[in-house]
Structure 1
Amino acid sequence: MEISASGRLVVRINAADVGKRVSVRRRLDPRDTRGEFTDTVGVLTSWDNGVLVITRRDGERVRIVESTLVAGKVVPPAPARRRGPSATYDELARVSSRAWRPLESERLGDWELRAAAGFTRRANSVLPLGDPGRPLDAALDAVRDWYGARGLPAYIQTATGAEGTQELLCAWLAERGWVREVSAELWIGALAPVADRAEGAGVVLAREADAGWLARYQRKGVSEVALRVLGSGPSVWFASVPGEGAAPAAIGRCVVDGRWAGFAAVEVDPALRRRGLATEVMAALARRALTEGASAGWLQVETDNTQARALYGRLGFDAHHTYHHFRAGH
């Protein structure tokens, strides 16, 4: 917290600091001048009518009454990662988008509108990297019209928690009635340690998802649209560990794109979990990616998937940012 020369806490932020990363301390009970305090760090996304809104790393918006502030200051951007590869949000957003391509897309200024007949939000949402080329409300109207013409709900994919992410856009969408439906994290890590973790013995790699792979895939009844999205990307590989039945014991998918290898759909037969099969799959895919020149890996994981998070943590991955899908309100 900011402390003056006299040793008193001071508030050194104001409405002109909207858009900056700040740290504030406030009283929990506005009526108790000597009671408990709490600290909040995040991007100051608005300051109107005596109320501040700070968007935290995980996308949570904290409303703070100005009169409860006891200290506040602008702080540097989130510190760089201490391990693993360095990356900007824009780079990762573009790489992850190329690994999961829609069937059609259209530019709205620097925004990309994506549609794939409703198969997953990622392939049916706007990727807003930059300026839409018109005022925000006009851009949102154009987004609604574009998805409405295709019989799809309008989604915008945003992010929080890393330099270059979109806390302000998240706040503006919420103010306009857009609803945050889904949030997850994108993790990154070095590729070589993944390849070294297991032999990858028994893992079969293929360029296409066969019937067996699809039988293990969590999304049942995969359509032709889904197959096209699954097969999209610069260099796509599907991994399978043969099982006793029609479905493999474990599967995975990897897209190699320059220095990056993106992992997805790592799934194991529930009866065969905790035997290292997921690690075997990822190790085999990592070795394949290394031969194609990749050196870093990324993956997406939901915040409540404790088993997957534990696995990826052991393999050296760590969270880079949190991404969100906002749906247009009615």
Structure 2
Amino acid sequence: MTPDAPTVGARVVVRHLAGGTGPSGGPALNDVVGRVLGVDDSTVTVQRRDGRTAIVALADIVTWKVVPDRPLRRRRARDVDTEELTRITSRGWPPIESQRLGDWELRAAGRFTGRANSVAVHGSPGVELTDALERVEAFYAERDQPALAQVVTGSAHDTALAAAGWTPMDDYHGGAVVQVADLDPAYAADPAARIADSVDAEWLSHYGRVNDPVSARAVLEGPAQVAFVSIGDPIVAIGRVVVTGEWAGISCVEVDPEVRRQGLAKRVVDTSLAWAVEHGADKAYLQTMRANTAAIALYAPYGFADHHDYRYLRPSTATSQ
């Protein structure tokens, strides 16, 4: 017996052939535990708790079964390692193009946001730092984009890149604070809010950072489990929520200036978190500017607290020729 369409959304354990010989002399086996994202004629796609996906050939499945959702949260949001959280947030805001450089991720998406157009620096690049930075610069030069590195502020990587001559961006979008929260079992979705699995032109027009709609849609709609919230007809408030494994990411909460201070942002967040819990998340993150005190105040009652800051570094003039 193998997973079928009604299994989508269920939490399962899939034991499958891994190739080669196992310790006992029989076929090597591997277990994948996670939530089923999709099933087709030949494969099942399972999302692990950290948002990574595994695609298993149906022909390789030895056994599978639906298992209960975890009864208790295993880790608090604030206890998750900074580098692991960086990987998780990247999965929630995926670039159009991604290349690995050891543990680093080179990301490009037509210049739509720094998060999708910078190298995510975590772990080891697998080569000497000088070689790694040369490869980073070459990657972005080939795409006619400025080279940017996203680093955790104050980390060893931050210090190393600074010593190599990379300097911080000082403008409004030069970095952000990442906040996290443990989610309650239930939130009250607003009955007037609409939830869609893709963005239309009206929703997109309310998100002020869009220069290229094609690139923006590719990034915003990229994850397997993503929802776009809107309130009003015509729309006056929007938000985006993504679930990757046990994590939800809240972003793009915008309210038209003429209707602010009427609770619309809270209604968007309540609806987003209700959707996130329904889709298996028990923790959430957000990324916002330190100077955006209104956003920080909005999220504080939900338990969001600082996890870490990141900033963008770029090559100095002397190293970027």
Please tell me the residue identity of whatever aligns with 2:202: G
Please tell me the residue identity of whatever aligns with 1:287: A
Q: Can you give the 5+ residue segments of structure 1 that lack an aligned partner in the other structure?
A: 1-82, 161-165
Equivalences for 1:73-222 in 2 at 5 Å? Answer: 86-160=79-153, 167-181=155-169, 182-192=174-184, 196=187, 199-222=189-212
Task: Tell me, yes or no, if the aligned pair for 2:91 and 2:223 is still in contact at 8 Å.
Answer: yes
Task: Tell me, yes or no, if the aligned pair for 1:184 and 1:322 is still in contact at 8 Å.
Answer: yes
- CA 1:172–1:221: 2 relative to 1, 3 Å: closer
Matched, 1:301 2:292: no
Task: Tell me, yes or no, if the aligned pair for 2:112 and 2:210 is still in contact at 8 Å.
Answer: no
Please tell me the residue identity of whatever aligns with 1:267: E
Please tell me the residue identity of whatever aligns with 1:179: T
Could you tell me how far apart the structure 2 residues matched to 1:87 and 1:276 are?
Answer: 31
Query: What RMSD over aligned residues (CA atoms) do the two structures have, in Å?
Result: 1.9
Could you tell me how far apart the structure 1 residues matched to 2:203 and 2:79 are?
Answer: 33
- CA 1:135–1:115: 2 relative to 1, 3 Å: same
Q: Per the alignment, in what secondary structure is the counterpart of residue 256 of structure 1?
A: strand
Could you tell me how far apart the structure 2 residues matched to 1:224 and 1:174 are?
Answer: 34
Q: How many pairs are equivalent? A: 239
1:177 Cα shift?
A: 2.1
Equivalences for 1:265-280 in 2 at 5 Å? Answer: 265-280=252-267
**TM-superposition CA deviations, 1:183-226 (whole Å, max 9, x none):** 21000012227x54x55131100000112211211124442111
Task: Tell me, yes or no, if the aligned pair for 1:84 and 1:317 is still in contact at 8 Å.
Answer: no
Could you tell me how far apart the structure 2 residues matched to 1:103 and 1:293 are?
Answer: 25
Could you tell me how far apart the structure 1 residues matched to 2:232 and 2:211 are?
Answer: 21
Q: Can you give the 5+ residue segments of structure 2 that lack an aligned partner in the other structure?
A: 1-75
208, 214, 224: which one aligns with 1:234: 224
Please tell me the residue identity of whatever aligns with 2:160: W
Could you tell me how far apart the structure 1 residues matched to 2:158 and 2:210 are?
Answer: 32
Task: Tell me, yes or no, if the aligned pair for 2:236 and 2:255 is still in contact at 8 Å.
Answer: yes
Question: What TM-score results when the alignment is normalised by the length of structure 1?
Answer: 0.69
Task: Tell me, yes or no, if the aligned pair for 1:262 and 1:297 is still in contact at 8 Å.
Answer: yes
Equivalences for 1:53-72 in 2 at 5 Å? Answer: none
Please tell me the residue identity of whatever aligns with 1:212: E
Larger radius of gyration between Structure 1 and Structure 2: 1
Task: Tell me, yes or no, if the aligned pair for 2:177 and 2:308 is still in contact at 8 Å.
Answer: yes
Question: What TM-score results when the alignment is normalised by the length of structure 2?
Answer: 0.71
Could you tell me how far apart the structure 1 residues matched to 2:210 and 2:118 are?
Answer: 22
Task: Tell me, yes or no, if the aligned pair for 2:92 and 2:242 is still in contact at 8 Å.
Answer: yes
